C-alpha cells in the first residue's frame, strides 16, 4: 500500500491572471496518476500495449511536475513585477507632485 501526503498549494493571484491556472491539474492529481501507473506496472499479466503505455504516463507526469514548478515561478515573478510596478507608479506620481509645487 502506498501512502501519499496531501500538501495544500498556495495559489498566486496576479492582475494578469488567466483561466489557464484553474484548468491545470494540481501536482497532487498528477502524483495520483503516477502512483496508479507504477502500481499498474506491478500487476502481473499486463497486456503488452499497456506495459508500453505506462512508462510514457510516468515520464509525462515527471515532465509535468517540472513544468508546473517553472510555471509557478513565473507566476511569482509576475506578481512581484506587478507589485513593483504599482509602487513605482505611486513613487513617480509623488515625485511629479512634489516637483510641481512652487517653493517659497
Question: DSSP string covering 34-46, please?
Answer: HHHHHHHHTSTT-
- Euclidean distance between CA atoms 45 and 51, whole angstroms: 10
pLDDT, tens digit, 9 for 90 and up, residues 59-93: 999 999 888 888 888 888 888 999 999 999 999 88
Summarize the confidence of residues 12-39 as an average pLDDT.
75
How many angstroms separate the Cα of 75 from the Cα of each of 3, 12, 68? 30, 7, 10
pLDDT, tens digit, 9 for 90 and up, residues 29-66: 999 999 999 999 998 998 898 889 999 999 999 999 88
- Euclidean distance between CA atoms 83 and 80, whole angstroms: 5
How many angstroms separate the Cα of 26 from the Cα of each of 47, 52, 59, 81? 29, 25, 17, 25
Answer yes or no: is pLDDT of 16 > 50. no
- Euclidean distance between CA atoms 15 and 32, whole angstroms: 31
pTM here is 0.52
Amino acid at each position: 500500500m502506498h501512502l501519499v501526503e496531501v500538501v495544500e498549494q498556495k495559489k498566486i493571484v496576479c492582475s494578469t491572471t488567466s483561466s489557464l491556472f484553474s484548468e491545470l491539474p494540481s501536482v497532487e492529481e498528477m502524483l495520483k496518476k503516477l502512483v496508479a501507473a507504477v502500481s499498474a506496472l506491478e500487476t502481473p499479466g499486463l497486456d503488452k500495449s499497456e506495459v508500453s503505455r505506462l512508462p510514457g504516463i510516468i515520464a509525462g507526469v515527471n515532465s509535468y511536475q517540472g513544468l508546473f514548478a517553472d510555471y509557478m515561478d513565473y507566476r511569482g515573478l509576475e506578481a512581484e513585477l506587478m507589485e513593483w510596478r504599482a509602487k513605482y507608479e505611486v513613487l513617480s506620481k509623488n515625485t511629479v507632485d512634489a516637483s510641481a509645487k512652487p517653493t517659497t
